[in-house]
Amino acid sequence: MDRVALRGLKARGHHGVYPREREEGQTFIVDLVLGLDTRAAAADDDLAKTVHYGIVAEEVVAVVEGDPVDLIETLAERIAQACLKHDGVLEVEVCVHKPDAPITVPFDDVTVTITRSRV
């Protein structure tokens, strides 16, 4: 399976279990790895035979900016399902970063990574 990766998609969302997170929002960063077969697209040099990663990026940002959820696990699942709606995408790995998570000790990042497929 071939891979198309999008790294560092940024969007502001209002996800979290605490009222401050819901009210003020925060930046979320999303990394995606889409699994698909790119041979037909490469052979014909045809965008219609692969995934349009610009459209995927816009849809992922819309999910992050959309309806709030408590858990980034839920957010990752919603993103994965949006990606799998694209015909050529057979598998997706989604990593959601929450660098401003409400943690009381010093840290660099919090992430949740999931892999989903059509099967």
- Architecture of the CATH domain 1-115: 2-Layer Sandwich (3.30)
Whole-prediction pTM value?
0.96
The residue to which tokens 């071939």 are assigned: 2
Query: What residue segments make up the domains of the chain, in order of their start?
Result: 1-115
The CA angle 41-44-49, to the nearest 5 degrees, is 30
42: Cα within 13 Å, side-chain hemisphere: 6
33-75: per-residue pLDDT in tens? Answer: 999 999 999 999 999 999 999 999 999 999 999 999 999 999 9
Q: Return the active site residues.
A: 98
Residue 75: CB atoms within 10 A of its CB come to: 25
pLDDT > 90 in the chain, percent: 98
pLDDT for the residue 119: 73
Helix residue spans in the chain (DSSP H): 19-24, 39-44, 53-65, 72-84
Top pLDDT among 118 and 113 is at 113
Residues 74 and 93 sit within 8 Å (Cβ to Cβ): no
Residues 27-35 have a mean pLDDT of 98
